[in-house]
Structure 1
Amino acid sequence: MDSTRQAAEAAIRIGGDPPARAGRGELAVFTWKVLIVAGVAALALFAWRVADALLLIFTGVLFAILLQRLAGLVRRFTGLSQGWGLAVVLVALVALIGGGGFLLGQSVASQVDQLREQVTHAIGQLPAPIHDQLVEQGKQWPWMTRLQSVASGVAYFIGDAIVVLFAAIYLAASPGVYRRGVVLLVPPRGHDRAREVLDVTGNALWRWLLGQMAAMAAVGVMTTAGLWLLGMPAAPALGMVAGILEFVPLIGPFLAAVPAVLIAFAQSPQDALWVAGLYLVIQQVEGNLITPLLQKSVVDLPPVVTIGAIAAGGVLFGLMGMFLATPLAVVALVMVNMLYIEDKLGEERHFPDPRKE
C-alpha cells in the first residue's frame, strides 16, 4: 500500500498523472470523439432529408452566377450599378423568352404534338407482344389517375421553378451579403482563404456554364439540321430535346436519341439506321471537336469523375441529381484541390487549372 502511494506521489512530482486522472482524461477525449461523430452523422442525416431543397438552392446558385456575370457585362459597357445591371438583364431575358414564345409558340406546340403522334404511331408498329403489353398497362392506368399525376408533376415543377428563380434573383442582387455569411462560418484566421475558395469555385462554375451552354446550342442546331435533311418529322422538337439533354453528359445524348430512332422506325428500319447514325456522328463531333475546343478555356473535368458523379447523383437523388452531378463534381474537386491538396499536403493543385483563372 505504501509503495503504491509513493509511486503516485512520485508521478505527481515528475509531472505525471495518477492512473485515475489519466483514465478520466482518456474518457473525456473518447466522449468528445463520440460527440463529434454523432454530430457529423446528424448533419449528414439532416442534409439527406433536405437534399431536394439543397439541390434547388444549388440550381439557384448556378442561375445566380449566370445573372451576375451577365449583369457584370452590362455594367462594363454601360457604367450602371450592379442592381440596375441585373434589372436590365432580367428585363432582357423576360423579353427574349416572351418574344420567342410568342413568335415560335404555335410552331413549337405543333411540333410537340406531331412528336407525340409519331411516338404513338411508332408504338403501334412494335411487335404484337410488346404492343399488347403496353396497351394492357395503359388500360390499368385510368385516365383520371394519369391526369392527376401530370397535374401534380406540373405543379411541383412550377413550384420548384419559382424557388429557383427567386433564390437566383436574391443571390445575384446581393452576392456580398451571402458571401460574407458563408465566410463567417469559418474561423477568423481562415476568412481570406474562404474568400479565395469561393472566388475560384464561382469562376469554375461560370466557365463550366459557358462551355455547357455552347455545347447544348451546337448539339441542338446540328440535330435539327440533320433530322431536317433526312426528312424526319418534328425535327425542331427533337433538336430541342437533344440540346436540353446535352446538359447531362454521357447519358443525355443516348436518351435524346431514343424518341428520334423510335419515330424513324415507324417510317422504316432504314430510316431508323440513318437517324441512329446521325446521332452517333453528332456525338463524335461534339466529343472530339467541339468539347476539346471549348475545354481550352473552360473547366476540364476528368471523364471518370464525370461518369462517377452522374451515376452517384442518379442513385442518390434521381433525375435532379443526374442534371446537377457535373457542377457538383466541379465544386467538390475545387474543394479537394484547394483545401486538401494545397492546404494539407502543400502541393500544387491541378483543378481548376490556375492558368484558366
Structure 2
Amino acid sequence: MSDTPPTHVEKRGPTEFRDPMIRDELKKAAVWLGLAVAIALIAFLAQPLLLIFAGIVLAAMLDGGARLLGRVLPIARGLRLALVTLAAIAFVVWTIVFAGFELAAQAENLRQVVTVQINRILAWGNTLGLVQGGAEVNQLSQQLMGSLGRLTTAVGSALGAVTSMVMILVIGIFIAIEPRLYERGVAWMLPLRSRDTFYRTAAHMGYTLRRLMAGRLLGMAVEGVGTWLLLWAGGVPMAALLGILTGLLAFIPNIGAIISGVLIVLVGFSAGVETGIWAIGVYLAVQFVDGYLIVPYVARKTVDLAPALVLGAQLLFGALFGLMGLALADPIVAMIKAALEQKSKEESGLAGGAPEP
C-alpha cells in the first residue's frame, strides 16, 4: 500500500452546517416549522388570546372615557380613569340590582313569547309545504346553534362567563392604568431599529380603537334607549328588556341588528297586528338613525370598514372561536386595517407628524 495521501478534494457532507446551502435550507425549514408551531399555538390558545384582546378593548374604552372627561374636568388622569371605571361598574351594578328581578321575569316571558311565535310561523310554513316534518322551535334552535359553531369554553357556562368577565375587567383596568408600561414591554422584545415604527403603529391602532369603541358605545346607547322609549310609547310588551337587548346586541354589527329585530317584531305581533306594525316601524327607525347617521359619522372619524368585510369576519371568527370571536371580529379587523395603513405610511415616508390624541 502507498503512503501517499489521496489526491482528490474532500467535499462537505450533508451534516456539515458550514455549507452555505445546508444553512440556507435549515433556515427555510426553521421558518416553516416556526410558522406551523405559531399557527398551532394560536389555535390552542385562541380563548386566552381573545380574553386578552377583550381586555385591551375594555382598556381602550376606559382610556377613551378618561381622555374625554379630561376635556371638561382638568384633574389628574388617574382620578379621571377611576371615575370612569367606577361609573361603569356602578351602571352595571344598578342594572343588576334594581332591574334584575323585573328583567329576569320579562326574560322568561320573552322566551315563551318567542317560542310560541316561531312555532306559529313553522306551523304556517308546514301548511304551505315550506317546512317538512312538523319542526318545532327547539329543533330549529339546536340546528342554528350547531351551524354557528362551537361556543368558547371560557363562556360555556355561567361560572365560565363570570370568570371571563372578571378576567377581562382586571386586564382592562391594569392596561388602562399604565398602557405605556405594556407598550414598552412589547417593544423591548423587538430590534432597536423596529421600535420607533412599533410605537407609531401602536399609537395609531390605539387611536383607532378608542374612536371605534366610542362610536360603538354611542350607537349602543342610541339604539337601546331609543328602542325602549319608542316601544314603551307604542305599548309593546317588555319594552325595557328589548331596549337593553337591542343596546347590547348593537355591539355586534349586522348580526346583532338582525337578532334584535327578530325579537322586537315577534314580541310586537304577540300583542296584536297594530302593535307588531309599530314594532317594525320602531326597528326600521332606529336602524335608519344608526345606519345613516351614527355609523357614517363613526366611519369618518375612525376606520371605514366595508359591511361585507365585517360580516365575513364575523362569520369566520364566530365559526372558529364561538361567541367571543363573533363579538370581537369588528375590533380585530379594525386593528388589522389600522396596522396595514400605518405600514403603508411608513413605506411611503409619511409616518411623521404630530402624535394622535
TM-score over 0.5 (shorter chain): yes
Alignment of 1:154-303 (within 5 A): 154-268=158-272, 271-303=275-307
Question: Partner residue of 2:48?
Answer: 53
Alignment CA distance shift 1:332-1:30 (3 Å): same
Find the aligned partners of 2:120 and 2:55 in 1 and give their Cα distance.
43
Find the aligned partners of 1:30 and 1:170 in 2 and give their Cα distance.
44
Deviation at 1:343, TM superposition (A): 3.4
Q: RMSD of the alignment, in Å?
A: 3.6
Alignment CA distance shift 1:27-1:192 (3 Å): same
Question: Partner residue of 1:342?
Answer: 345
Deviation at 1:154, TM superposition (A): 0.8
Code of the aligned partner of 2:63? Q
Deviation at 1:272, TM superposition (A): 4.1
Q: Secondary structure at the match of 1:232?
A: coil
Q: For residues 184-229 of structure 1, give each alpha carbon's deviation from its aligned partner in whole angstroms, at most 9, with x where no partner exists.
A: 1221012111111111110100000111111111112232233233
Code of the aligned partner of 1:241? L
Alignment CA distance shift 1:153-1:24 (3 Å): same
Deviation at 1:173, TM superposition (A): 1.9
More off after superposition, 233-242 vs 305-314: 305-314
Deviation at 1:304, TM superposition (A): 3.6
Find the aligned partners of 1:110 and 1:183 in 2 and give their Cα distance.
51
Q: Secondary structure at the match of 1:280?
A: helix
Find the aligned partners of 1:76 and 1:132 in 2 and give their Cα distance.
60
Code of the aligned partner of 1:208? L
Q: For residues 248-296 of structure 1, give each alpha carbon's deviation from its aligned partner in whole angstroms, at most 9, with x where no partner exists.
A: 1122111111222222343445654553344234323321233223334
Find the aligned partners of 1:84 and 1:181 in 2 and give their Cα distance.
25
Code of the aligned partner of 1:342? K
Q: For residues 67-105 of structure 1, give each alpha carbon's deviation from its aligned partner in whole angstroms, at most 9, with x where no partner exists.
A: 223334556665554444333333333333334444433
Q: Is residue 67 from structure 1 mapped to residue 69 from structure 2 by the alignment?
A: no
Q: Which of 136, 146, 152 is matched with 1:134 structurally?
A: 136
Q: Which of 319, 325, 328 is matched with 2:332 structurally?
A: 328
User: 1:122, 1:266 within 8 Å by CA — same for their partners in 2?
Assistant: yes
Q: Give aligned-pair identity as a percent.
A: 29
Find the aligned partners of 1:57 and 1:33 in 2 and give their Cα distance.
32
Code of the aligned partner of 1:37? W
Code of the aligned partner of 1:112? A
User: 2:204, 2:356 within 8 Å by CA — same for their partners in 1?
Assistant: no
Deviation at 1:113, TM superposition (A): 3.6
Q: Secondary structure at the match of 1:283?
A: helix
Code of the aligned partner of 1:134? E
Q: Which of 18, 21, 27 is matched with 1:32 structurally?
A: 27
User: 1:60, 1:165 within 8 Å by CA — same for their partners in 2?
Assistant: yes
Deviation at 1:335, TM superposition (A): 1.5
- The count of residues paired between Structure 1 and Structure 2 equals 328
User: 2:65, 2:84 within 8 Å by CA — same for their partners in 1?
Assistant: yes
Q: Secondary structure at the match of 1:295?
A: helix
Question: Partner residue of 1:319?
Answer: 323
Unaligned runs of 5+ in 2: 1-6, 143-152
Question: Partner residue of 1:14?
Answer: none
Q: Which of 105, 112, 119 is matched with 2:107 structurally?
A: 112
Q: For residues 118-143 of structure 1, give each alpha carbon's deviation from its aligned partner in whole angstroms, at most 9, with x where no partner exists.
A: 224435645556896438869x9xxx
More off after superposition, 202-211 vs 263-272: 263-272
Question: Partner residue of 1:12?
Answer: none
User: 1:298, 1:356 within 8 Å by CA — same for their partners in 2?
Assistant: no
Find the aligned partners of 1:214 and 1:136 in 2 and give their Cα distance.
35
Q: Secondary structure at the match of 1:300?
A: coil
Find the aligned partners of 1:136 and 1:331 in 2 and give their Cα distance.
38
Q: For residues 49-70 of structure 1, give each alpha carbon's deviation from its aligned partner in whole angstroms, at most 9, with x where no partner exists.
A: 1111101110100111222233
Alignment CA distance shift 1:127-1:253 (3 Å): closer
Deviation at 1:172, TM superposition (A): 1.5
Q: Secondary structure at the match of 1:247?
A: coil
Unaligned runs of 5+ in 1: 9-16, 141-148
Deviation at 1:106, TM superposition (A): 4.0
Code of the aligned partner of 1:153? S
Deviation at 1:244, TM superposition (A): 1.2
User: 2:303, 2:338 within 8 Å by CA — same for their partners in 1?
Assistant: no
Q: Secondary structure at the match of 2:236?
A: coil
Higher relative contact order (CA 8 A, sep 6+): 2
Find the aligned partners of 1:136 and 1:160 in 2 and give their Cα distance.
28
Deviation at 1:22, TM superposition (A): 12
Deviation at 1:45, TM superposition (A): 1.0
Alignment of 1:88-103 (within 5 A): 88-103=83-98
